[in-house]
Amino acid sequence: MWLPRPVTWALRCAVGLTLAFIYVPLLVVVLNAFNPDRVSTWPPSGFTLDWWREALTNQGALDATLVSVQVALCATALALALGTLASFALQRYAFFGRDAVSLLVILPIALPGIVTGLSLNAAFTAMLGLDLGFLTIVVAHATFCIVVVFNNVIARLRRLGETAEAASMDLGATRFTTFRLVTFPALRSALLAGGLLAFALSFDEIIVTTFTAGAGTETLPIWILNNLTRPNNAPVVNVVGTCLIVFSILPIYLSQKLSGTASGGRF
C-alpha cells in the first residue's frame, strides 16, 4: 500500500534497527564460540576452534540434545491430541463453562513458569511420590503446549466452517471417515504449524523443567544451565548456541511454508 517516501524510509530504519537489536546478541554468542577465554568476556582475546572440537565429542551435550528431542516429540504428540480435542469441543459446541474452559487452556502458559513448576513438583514428589524424570518432564511440557496447538487449530476451524463436513456426511460418510478424508487434510497444516511451535517451546523450556526433571534426566537447557557455571564448559555452551542458531532456520522455514499464510501460524 502507498505511503509517503519519508515514512517508508523511517519504517525501513526501524526494521533495520530492530534486526540489529535481535542479532547483535546472537553475534556475540557466535564470536564467543571462537574465543579462547574460558570465561566469556569482551572483546574476544583470539580465535580458536578448540571448543568446536570439544563440543563434537562432548557426550553430555549430545545426550542432552537427544533427551530434549525425545521429550519435545512426546510432549508435542500429547499436546496435538489434547489440543485438537479441546479446540473441536470449544469451537463446535456451546455449553456452560465454555469460557472457563478456554481460560483453563490458556492458564498453563499464562501463569509464570515458576508457579507451574513448583506446583507440578509438589504434586509429583509430595502427593504422588513419583520419581522425577523423563515422564514428569513430558507431562509438564505437554500441559503448557496444549494452548499452542489449541490456538492454531481453533483458528483454522473458525475459517473452515462445518459445511464441508456436513456435505460429506450427507453423501453417506461416517463421522470417522469424514474426519479422515475431509477435516484432517484441512487441519493438517495448522496441526503441523502448532506442533512445530509446541516443539520449539518444549525444546527451549528451562524454568518448569528444572522443577520437574530431577537428577538423572538432562534436557539441553538443563545441560546448558549446568555447564554455563563451569569455567571450561562455558565456551562449549556458546558452540552449542551457535549450532542452535544455524539449525533453527530449517524448522522456522518449514512452519512458514506449512501455515499457508505468511504469518507463520499463530500461537
Partner 1 sequence: MTLTRASAWRCAAVLTGIALVVTACGTSADDEASGSDEAGDPAAAFEPPDLPMLEEIGAGEGELNILSWAGYAEDGTTDPNVDWVSPFEDETGCQVTNKVFNTSDEAVSLMQSGQYDVVSASGDASLRLIAGGDVEPVNTDLVPNYVDIWPFLKDRAWNTVNGVNYGIPHGWGANVLMYNTQEVDPAPASWSVVFEDAEQQDGRVTAYDSPIYIADAAMYLMETEPDLGIENPYALDDDQLAAAVDLLKQQSESVGEYWADYTKEISAFKTGSSTVGTTWQIIANLAKADGAPVDVVLPEEGATGWSDTWMVGAESEHKNCAYLWMDWIASPDVNAQVAEWFGEAPGNSKACDLTADPDHCATFHAGDEEYAEQIWYWTTPIEQCLDGRTDVTCTDYAAWTQAWTEIKG
Partner 2 sequence: MRTPFSRRVSAHLHRRPRLRLWALLTAPMFWLVVVYLASLAALLVTAFWSTDSFTSEIVRDWNLDNYRLIYESSVYRTIIVRTLAVALGVTAVCTVVAIPFAYYMAKVAGPREQKILVVAALMPLWVSYLIKGFSWRILVGENGVLDNTIGATPGFGTAAVVLTLSYLWLPYMVLPVYAGFERLPDSLLDASGDLGAKPSRTFWSVVLPAIFPSVVAGSIFTFSLSMGDYITVDIVGGSTQMLGNVVFDNQVYDLPFAAAMATVTVAIMVVYLRLVRRTGALENI
Task: Write out the residues near partner 1 by the rule CB under 8 A.
Answer: 37-42, 96-97, 99-100, 103, 122, 125-127, 131-132, 214-216, 226, 228-234
Q: How far is the CB of 74 from partner 2 (least distance, A)?
A: 14
Window contacting partner 2 (CB under 8 A); options: 47-55, 59-67, 123-131, 186-194: 123-131
What does the alpha-carbon distance between residue 166 and residue 161 come to, in Å, rounded to a whole number?
Answer: 10
* Site membership for partner 2, residue 129 (CB under 8 A): no
φ/ψ of 101, rounded to 5, equals: -65, -40
188 touches, from partner 2, partner 1, none (C-beta below 5 to 8 Å by class): none
# residues contacting partner 2 (CB under 8 A)? 100
How far is Cα of residue 53 from the mean position of the Cα atoms in its chain?
29
φ/ψ of 200, rounded to 5, equals: -60, -45
Query: Per CB under 8 A, which of residues 175..194 are in contact with partner 2?
Result: 175-177
φ/ψ of 128, rounded to 5, equals: -100, -10
State which residue, 1 or 215, has the beta carbon closest to partner 2: 1
Window contacting partner 2 (CB under 8 A); options: 50-58, 146-154, 159-167, 182-190: 146-154
State which residue, 105 or 132, has the beta carbon closest to partner 2: 105
Residue corresponding to grid cell 489449541 = 150
38 touches, from partner 2, partner 1, none (C-beta below 5 to 8 Å by class): partner 1
* Site membership for partner 2, residue 209 (CB under 8 A): no
Q: How far is the CB of 19 from partner 1 (least distance, A)?
A: 27
C-alpha triplet 124, 200, 244: angle, nearest 5°: 115
39 touches, from partner 2, partner 1, none (C-beta below 5 to 8 Å by class): partner 1
Q: Is 242:48 a contact under the CB 8 Å cutoff? A: no
* Site membership for partner 2, residue 135 (CB under 8 A): no
* Site membership for partner 2, residue 133 (CB under 8 A): no
What does the alpha-carbon distance between residue 142 and residue 118 come to, in Å, rounded to a whole number?
Answer: 16
Q: How far is the CB of 240 from partner 1 (least distance, A)?
A: 15
State which residue, 114 or 246, has the beta carbon closest to partner 1: 114
* Site membership for partner 2, residue 88 (CB under 8 A): yes
What does the alpha-carbon distance between residue 37 and residue 41 come to, in Å, rounded to a whole number?
Answer: 7
Q: How far is the CB of 14 from partner 2 (least distance, A)?
A: 4
Where helices occur in the chain by DSSP H, the ranges are 5-32, 50-57, 59-92, 98-110, 113-121, 134-160, 163-170, 175-178, 184-204, 207-212, 220-228, 234-247, 249-258
Query: What is the amino acid identity at position 178?
Result: T
